[in-house]
Structure formats: C-alpha cells, structure tokens
Amino acid sequence: MRKIPRQLFVSEALRDQAYGDFPLPIGEQQTISQPFIVAEMTQALQLTENDRVLEIGTGSGYQTAILAEIAYRVFTVERIHALLVKARQLFDKLQYHNIVTRLGDGTAGWAEEGPFDAIMVTAGAPRIPEKLVAQLAAGGRLVVPVGDQHSQELFKIYRDEHGIRKTNLGGCRFVKLVGEYGWGEK
C-alpha cells in the first residue's frame, strides 16, 4: 500500500485527504474504499504471486492496483464507463501490465476467464453471489460484503473439494452492487 500513490486515484480537489482512513467520493455516486477495508479485504484473500484474481467493481482502480502488486493477473469488471476509463488510464500510466478490464455487470462473474484463485466484490450484495462461488477454483477464496443497502457484513468464502466454508469478518458499508444477481437500479 505504501508503494501505490493513492492520491492519483482521487480527484485533485481531494488529494490532501487521500491518505485519511475514510472513503472518498470518486464521481458517479461511487466511493474509493477506505484504506483499512482495502487492507482487510486484500489480506483475507491470502494471495500468492501465482494467483489469478477477479475483482467486481473497479471504481477508482486503487484496490485493483493493490491486487496487481501481489497476484499474477487481475481481471476487473466495472459497470460505469466513465470510472473504468479513468482507472484504465491510471493502470497504463503506472504500468500495470497484469490488469485486464471489462465494462459491464460483474454479478455473473467472468466465466470465460475462470476459475479464479480469488474473487473480491467491492460493492454490497443482497446475498452471496452463487455465480461467483461457482467460479472459484478448488482452494479459492471469495470476499464479499452482504447485507441491505445501508450496512453489510464482510463474508469470506473458502472453497475446496469438499464444499464451501463461510466466515463472517464483521460489519462494513459499501455502495450497492447493481446487476442481474445484485440490486436493481433504483
């Protein structure tokens, strides 16, 4: 986290606040997650340098960059075009060659590229997204905030050959996951 210039992932007006431990607006009614939750979710994924990772909700791209520093390759999906364009420009500028982006609804995952060693959802889901669990490799980990639209709990799902194991990592608050297997637009 020390290596990645977080100030580049927020607007110029918010740069002096970039290192505060709170979320900040990034436009389009979305937010960049606070550093603590980025660290907590990243740690929960137990990444190694050979892992292929799927991220749902690119947003500013800050969390994506953190994942790309640790893992082999990161596939990231964002539904809002303007945010994805900005994030991609930063990935190019910072020379991340192991980030693959896609515009669209990520609630169904990215079946063509799966299975994944790790999956991170950075928006709040109404329930554990089964399509994503299905795209976990054996030994794979998924972290996802699940709850209502005001507050959620962070779940870690671990999948092995016998089935899945679910751990609750505690309360959190995210913008909503909007899509076919998430919340509706309104």
By CB under 6 A, is residue 57 in contact with ligand SAH? yes
Catalytic residue among 11, 33, 60, 151: 33
| Rounded Cα–Cα distance for residues 119 and 136 (Å) | 7
Q: Candidates 35, 51, 62, 143: give the one binding ligand SAH (CB under 6 A).
A: 62
Q: How far is the CB of 133 from ligand SAH (least distance, A)?
A: 16
Strand 52-56 and strand 163-172: the pairing is unpaired
Query: Which listed range, 53-61, 129-137, 139-147, 149-157, lies at the site for ligand SAH (CB under 6 A)?
Result: 53-61
What ranges make up the beta strands (E) of the chain? Answer: 24-27, 30-32, 52-56, 73-78, 99-103, 116-121, 136-147, 152-160, 163-172
By CB under 6 A, is residue 175 in contact with ligand SAH? yes
Of all residues in this chain, which one has the CB nearest to ligand SAH in the complex?
Answer: 59
Which residues are registered as beta bridge partners of 78? Answer: 103
Q: Is 33 a catalytic residue?
A: yes
Nearest to 143 by CA among 84, 55, 20: 55
Measured in degrees and rounded to the nearest 5, phi and psi for residue 125 equal -100, 150
Inter-CA distances, 141 with 51, 80, 156, 166, Å: 11, 26, 7, 10
Q: How far is the CB of 98 from ligand SAH (least distance, A)?
A: 17
* Paired tokens of 174: 């995210």
* Comparison of 30 and 52: residue with beta carbon closer to ligand SAH: 30
Instruction: Show the site string, 33-52: x = touches ligand SAH by CB under 6 A, - = not.
Output: x-------------------
Binding site for ligand SAH (CB under 6 A): 26, 30-33, 56-57, 59-60, 62-63, 77-80, 83, 105-107, 122-123, 175, 177-179, 182
Which amino acids are annotated catalytic? Answer: 33
